[in-house]
Every structure is written in C-alpha cells, then in structure tokens.
C-alpha cells in the first residue's frame, strides 16, 4: 500500500534534485523529487505575504571562510533550495563569516529576489549597533533586508527603535526578536506583549516543547509570525533516534525520515510560520524540504508522535 502511494506520488513529481535516497523503517524511497514550486506556504500575518514553511539556518556550517572548498557545496545547496521553491534563509553577524558567505553566493546566483533574508543585530551600544546593521547590508550585498531581528534580546531598548526606523525608511521589510534560551522566555513574552513586532524566532522541537504553551498563543493572539530555530536541538535529536526505525504510521502523514518527523511535528503547530533547520548538505536539504510537502499531522497524530518520541530510549 505504502509502496503504491510512493510510486504514484513520484510519477506526479518532477525530479529537480540529486538522486539520493533515504531509508525508512519499511522501504528506501527517493528524495529530491519535488513538484515544481509546490511547497506548503504560510502567511505572515502583518502583510499577508506567503513564505514556504521550511527554510535554512546558517549557524556554524556557513562560517567557512577558512575552508574555501566548502563554498562550492553551499552554493549548490542554495541553488537547489530556490529551484525547489525555498525562500527563507536565517543568518547573523555572530555566525562568523556566514553573512558574507550567504551574500556572496546569492549575488553570484543573481537571484536576490527569490530569497527571504533574515538576519540579526546583537549590540548593547547604539553606535556599534548601527555599525553592525550597516555591515550586514554590505556583507549580504543587498539594499533591502527582509527581516531584522534583535538577537537574544541584546540591546533591545536601544536597537528596536532603530530597526523600526529602518523599516519606515523601506530598508527592512519586517521587524523581529529572537531567542533560543528557555530562561529568556519571561522577558521575551513581555516584549511580544508590548512591542509592535512582525516576527518572533524561538526554539521549539520535540525535545523542547515549552514555547508551544507559553509563547505561541500570545504570538497567535497578536498576529505575529513565528520562525522556529534549533528544530533538531542542534542535531542531538538524531542521536536519540539513532538506529531506531520510524513507526509504520509515519507514512500516513508523508514522513519518510526522522528529519521529516521532527520538522512536521513542529510545523503541525498552527502558530508556526516557518522552521529553519541548519542545512549545509544537499542530501539534508532535500530531506528537510520534504517536510514542506504532503500531509501535516492532526492533533491526534501530534500526540502520537510525542508519545512515540518520549518512549524512545
Ligand atoms: N537565538 C537565535 O536567534 C538562534 C539560536 C540558535 C539558532 N538559530 C538559527 O536556527 C538555525 C537552526 O539551528 P542549528 O543550526 O543550531 O541547529 P539544528 O537545526 O537544530 O540542527 C542542525 C544539525 O542538524 C544536522 N542536520 C540537518 N539536517 C539534517 C538531516 N536531514 N538529517 C540529519 N541531520 C541533519 C546538521 O548536520 P551537519 O552538522 O552534518 O550539517 C546540524 O548538525 C541556526 O542555523 C540559526 O540560523 C538562531
């Protein structure tokens, strides 16, 4: 039954990626086959703009200035990303050379308008904050940045008004804040309640579910888009499921790898607009983007996924 589903689906798709395959609990299936521009999208509440639900994070793996040979690999990943229909890429000045690498690759691809670039500022002092922001424009080689976020709330009171002014001036499309620390949630929540924000970015995964209770409902109420970071708990989730098979029922919701299991759990929360897994390998890209297709878990399935994950040794 499941094999029939796969072959029917594959017949409907056009191959745009590498001919890699992933092994699930039952059967090896091809990845890298996508219906052109058929990724699931969600709406940014403040404007109605739609973005695909899976993006790319660039922490650590795009800080490659000391390894020039890796730039070619990342260029392939970003080229494939937009070919499939991907858009959102998240970076930051604190990710070493990542902004410069992303800016250089996007410039070489000559596809700036196909990307939604999110970056951050993390400075307490106004002068160094403005300097960091201007450096981001230069490194990313763009006149307009889609989303600017106050990184881990650092310099919030000083830099948020500056980012708002830049939005007014048309240099930034969206304003946001980010965290990946549960201990920061009280201040984060306070900020979401009182500031005018288009986006928040927060950690949420099967291993860290607190944001769904404390932060997502407020974002929904206030009409704020949600980006989810560290969806694999920086890769540690894969160690937890090491050598374990996917449950048979995963195929019912078009899940064919553990990465898709983790991402679809996140995406099936209605508050989530987009998830940004750290992605620097072509095979991982094709795998992760698969979570932006097919069926999403309903609330019963979400409970089942949680129980299954919690029960793993
Ligand atoms: N406060 C903040 O604003 C904040 C904090 C943290 C992160 N972020 C953002 O969120 C993004 C995501 O977080 P993250 O990159 O730290 O961690 P993550 O997305 O939870 O995990 C990344 C790790 O997962 C592995 N991986 C990716 N796709 C895979 C797949 N399909 N199968 C198996 N392994 C896979 C990668 O492996 P390899 O190492 O082998 O490539 C990498 O080690 C960051 O890149 C950054 O943009 C923001």
* CB distance 235 to ligand 1 below 6 Å: yes
Cβ–Cβ < 8 Å for 23, 246: no
Domain for residue 20, yes or no?
no
Domain for residue 60, yes or no?
yes
Cβ–Cβ < 8 Å for 200, 219: yes
- At 17, list the tokens: 């990626």
Report helix, strand or coil for 34: strand
Backbone torsions φ then ψ of 297, nearest 5 degrees? -60, 140
Q: Parallel, antiparallel, or unpaired: how do β-strands 41-43 and 50-52 relate?
A: antiparallel
Beta bridge partners of 153: none
Atom of ligand 1 nearest to the CA of 91: 47
The best mutation among 240, 277, 281 to test binding of ligand 1, ranked by most ligand atoms within 8 Å of the C-beta, falls on 277
Domain for residue 236, yes or no?
yes
CA 246, CA 174: separation in Å to the nearest integer?
Answer: 38
Provide the CATH number for the domain around residue 137: 3.20.20.100
Q: Which residue has the tokens 């403040």?
A: 46
CA 164, CA 160: separation in Å to the nearest integer?
Answer: 6
Window from 11-20, 121-130, 303-312 with minimum mean pLDDT: 11-20
Parent domain of 242: 38-311
Q: Which residue has the tokens 């897994």?
A: 277
Domain for residue 26, yes or no?
no
Specify the number of domains making up the chain.
1
Domain for residue 32, yes or no?
no
Domain for residue 9, yes or no?
no
What would the pLDDT profile of 123-156 be if each residue is shown by its tens digit?
A: 999 999 999 999 999 999 999 999 999 999 999 9
Longest Cα pair distance anywhere in the chain, in angstroms?
62
Domain for residue 31, yes or no?
no
> Residue 219: its pLDDT value, please?
98
CA 82, CA 114: separation in Å to the nearest integer?
Answer: 7
User: Cβ of 243: how many Cβ atoms within 10 Å?
Assistant: 4
DSSP code of 183?
Answer: G
State the distance from the centre of ligand 1 to the C-alpha of 205, rounded, in angstroms.
12
> Residue 5: its pLDDT value, please?
35
First to last CA, the chain: 30
> Residue 38: its pLDDT value, please?
86
What would the pLDDT profile of 208-252 be if each residue is shown by its tens digit?
A: 999 999 999 999 999 999 999 999 999 999 999 988 899 999 999
Cβ–Cβ < 8 Å for 277, 61: no
| Mean pLDDT estimate for the chain | 90
Measured CA to CA in angstroms, residue 2 lies from 101, 138, 236 at distances of 41, 49, 29
Atom of ligand 1 nearest to the CA of 120: 3
The pLDDT of residue 17 is above 60 = no
State the distance from the centre of ligand 1 to the C-alpha of 127, rounded, in angstroms.
31
State the average pLDDT over residues 47-61: 98
Q: Parallel, antiparallel, or unpaired: how do β-strands 28-30 and 225-229 relate?
A: unpaired
**Residue of minimum CA distance from atom 26 in ligand 1:** 235
* CB distance 280 to ligand 1 below 6 Å: yes
**Residue of minimum CA distance from atom 42 in ligand 1:** 235
Residue count of the chain? 313
What would the pLDDT profile of 56-104 be if each residue is shown by its tens digit?
A: 999 999 999 888 889 999 999 999 999 999 999 999 999 999 999 999 9
**Residue of minimum CA distance from atom 23 in ligand 1:** 235
Domain for residue 3, yes or no?
no
> Residue 280: its pLDDT value, please?
98
The pLDDT of residue 21 is above 90 = no
Angle at 270 between CA 196 and CA 179, to 5 degrees: 50
- At 283, list the tokens: 């095979």
The pLDDT of residue 30 is above 80 = no
> Residue 35: its pLDDT value, please?
63
CA 260, CA 254: separation in Å to the nearest integer?
Answer: 9
CA 312, CA 247: separation in Å to the nearest integer?
Answer: 11
Quote the percentage of the chain above a pLDDT of 90. 84
**Residue of minimum CA distance from atom 47 in ligand 1:** 57
Please tell me the pTM assigned to this model.
0.92
Cβ–Cβ < 8 Å for 173, 164: no
State the distance from the centre of ligand 1 to the C-alpha of 16, rounded, in angstroms.
24
């Amino acid at each position: 039954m499941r094999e029939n589903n796969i072959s029917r689906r594959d017949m409907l798709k056009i191959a745009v990626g590498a001919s890699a395959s992933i092994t699930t609990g039952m059967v090896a299936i091809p990845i890298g086959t996508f219906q052109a521009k058929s990724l699931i999208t969600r709406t940014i509440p403040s404007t109605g703009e739609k973005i695909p639900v899976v993006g790319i994070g660039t922490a650590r793996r795009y800080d490659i200035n000391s390894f020039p040979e890796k730039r070619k690999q990342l260029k392939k990943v970003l080229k494939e990303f937009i070919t499939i229909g991907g858009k959102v890429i998240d970076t930051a000045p604190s990710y070493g050379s990542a902004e410069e690498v992303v800016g250089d690759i996007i410039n070489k691809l000559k596809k700036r308008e196909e990307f939604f670039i999110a970056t951050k500022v993390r400075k307490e002092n106004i002068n160094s904050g403005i300097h960091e922001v201007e450096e981001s424009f230069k490194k990313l080689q763009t006149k307009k940045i889609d989303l600017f976020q106050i990184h881990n709330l650092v310099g919030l009171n000083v830099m948020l008004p500056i980012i708002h002014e830049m939005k007014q001036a048309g240099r930034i499309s969206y304003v946001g804040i980010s965290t990946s620390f549960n201990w920061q949630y009280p201040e984060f929540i306070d900020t979401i309640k009182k500031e005018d924000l288009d986006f928040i970015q927060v950690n949420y995964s099967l291993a860290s579910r607190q944001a769904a209770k404390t932060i997502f409902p407020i974002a929904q109420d206030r009409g704020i888009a949600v980006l989810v970071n560290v969806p694999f708990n920086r890769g540690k989730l894969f160690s937890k499921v090491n050598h374990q098979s996917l449950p048979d029922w995963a195929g019912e919701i078009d899940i064919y790898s553990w990465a898709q299991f983790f991402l679809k759990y996140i995406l099936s929360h209605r508050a989530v607009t987009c998830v940004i897994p750290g992605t620097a390998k072509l095979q991982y890209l094709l795998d992760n983007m698969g979570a932006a297709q097919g069926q999403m878990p309903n609330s019963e399935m979400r409970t089942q996924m949680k129980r299954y994950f919690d029960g793993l040794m």
